[in-house]
Structure 1
Amino acid sequence: MSTFFSDSKDIKLSVLESLPQLQAEYNLQGWIRAESTQDVQSIVEELTELHKENKALRVENSSLLKKIESQTKLTTKPKTEEELDQIFDILKEKMIDITGIKSEIGNGAELPVEVDSLSLSVAFREMLMRGVTNKYGIGELESFVFFRLCPYLQTFDLVANENVAGVQYRRYAITKKGIEFFAYLDKKEHKNKSNKSVKKSPEKKTANKSSNSDAASSAGF
């Protein structure tokens, strides 16, 4: 926007004429006195202070979260261990009739008619680890493990029934979870033994027999 003038009066007139045009062109709302505006510097300082406080709170919050997470790890069992604890308790309660194999065991006559599946799993651990099949001519113990014990263990994904390439029979093989379960039993036994040595109490030592030892003795192997 430009105008021509010859003296000061023309300048004044040009300014007065230009103001309405500028207002219409830029949609101006009005004039603000400088003394009526807020102190920008104070606002900047306030925002800076709030930013510092916010940063400090974030650091404190992060520190508290790490502390809570650390304490939770110390007081909470991993999900895998909790699941193995549950399987341990269930197998301990599940009884299986061993009448058909008592004659195959040296002291079978002294064993009860039913033995818990946890004890049987420990007793037949080596057989489970190498795999057991239903091929023709298997013995009574192998047949018992394949047809009576393994189907129940499979419900907890401790063993898996699989095809054997090139043959007619099938095989129960230990799974990764099954290996973890036997490792869990070993750790449990080691922990019980450590507790016995610390306590050095004959009565408590007798009362705190390891689960694996109980299982093996109750199965008679």
Structure 2
Amino acid sequence: MKKRLQVFISSTYADLIEERQAAVEAVLNAGHIPAGMELFKSGDQSQKETIKKWIDESDVYMLILGGRYGTIDQETGKSYTHWEYDYAETCGKPRFSIIINDNALDEKVKEKGQDVLEREHYKEYRDFKDTVLSKICKFYSDIKDIKLAIYESLKEFEKDETLVGWVSGNDVGRFIEIKEENHTLLKENMSLKEKVEILEEKVKKNLEFNGYSYEELQGYLQSKLISLPGDIFNDNITGDEISAMDLFLKSAKLFSIGYEFNSGEKVTSFIHYRLTPILLNFGLVEKLKVGTAIKFQLSESGHKFILKLEMDNFQSEC
């Protein structure tokens, strides 16, 4: 839906009547809404409060700067035009300025006389003009330049999604429909979020071992050292100690098949008394009765833990 922006037009008045009229026409022809103090009565509020209200309710602030500084506001010591420009900035309104060029001002003086120039507050005018020139602005020589500058600037502001604007009554029905669609999408999004949280919780629990996370258990087994008796292993294990993690990995095949408690094999007996109790505590190994024998083998958690270790090792080698 097309939004209509309310544009507050600020300028001195008597010297820029034609320019302001051209600006109002340009804003209207661009499909937007002009606003300025000469279009409204002040009502019961003070003039400044009324100006604030209209700037607050406008989407864009536009300044037309000629050769005059304007009537001074006794409270701030600034002209009303200068004060409006500063107030629009404090409100966070996007501002654009159209400034008369020097040649056009000279021609205006020849045509209208010295009243179109600032004489009483010239320093304040120059300071204000310097401030305006320090921002992005456009220059005009005649009415056509003003209209073109407004068309170009408003086209850019129309693209700004942060500007609310006004919506035609014909579009209100569609607006309500979109609002309802957004509400439905929001509810669906919240439902999906809850499902994701439930799935994440399930995944987290699936990677827990007797209440401990995979990382916690891995760290513990890696830090748990087991003393090695001399030449119990025939492979390349060296040193007097081995971590429970490394011993678990080396004996994973034994636990996967399972071994009987009464096995007289020396390595199996060592593993049974030094490693198996640790693994039983974390539920990685389970004790089963097979006939009259007792068998120890990997539990479901143990298989899952070994598989995760192997995948981590594989990914680190890639």
TM value normalised by structure 2: 0.38
Question: Which amino acid is the alignment partner of residue 184 of structure 1?
Answer: K
Distance 2:178 2:235 in 1: 77
Distance 2:195 2:315 in 1: 23
Q: Tell which has more relative contact order, 1 or 2 (C-alpha 8 A, sep 6+).
A: 1
Counting matched residue pairs gives 140
Evaluate the alpha carbon distance shift between residue 171 and residue 67 of structure 1 in structure 2; reply closer, same or farther with a 3 A threshold: closer
Q: 1:158 aligns with which of 284, 294, 299?
A: 284
Q: Deviations over 1:21-50 (max 9, x none)?
A: xxxxxxxxxxxxxxxxxxxxxxxxxxx99x
Evaluate the alpha carbon distance shift between residue 107 and residue 191 of structure 1 in structure 2; reply closer, same or farther with a 3 A threshold: closer
Evaluate the alpha carbon distance shift between residue 85 and residue 67 of structure 1 in structure 2; reply closer, same or farther with a 3 A threshold: same
- Structure 2 equivalent of residue 132 of structure 1: 259
Give yes or no for the alignment of 1:87 onto 2:217: yes
Identity %: 17
- Note the C-alpha offset of 1:98: 1.6
Evaluate the alpha carbon distance shift between residue 69 and residue 190 of structure 1 in structure 2; reply closer, same or farther with a 3 A threshold: farther
- Note the C-alpha offset of 1:139: 1.3
- Structure 1 equivalent of residue 306 of structure 2: 182
Aligned-residue CA RMSD (Å): 3.6
Are the counterparts in 1 of residues 233 and 267 from structure 2 also a CA contact under 8 Å?
no
- Note the C-alpha offset of 1:146: 1.4
TM value normalised by structure 1: 0.53
- Note the C-alpha offset of 1:130: 0.6
Q: Deviations over 1:155-196 (max 9, x none)?
A: 11100112221x2x42112111111011101110111012xx
Q: List aligned pairs for 1:33-48, cutoff 5 A.
A: none
Which structure's residues are more often helix, by fraction?
1
SS in 2 for 1:103: coil
SS in 1 for 2:234: coil
Q: List aligned pairs for 1:49-198, cutoff 5 A.
A: 55-65=180-190, 78-79=203-204, 80-81=206-207, 83-99=213-229, 102-106=230-234, 111-135=238-262, 138-165=264-291, 167=292, 169-194=293-318
- Note the C-alpha offset of 1:57: 4.3
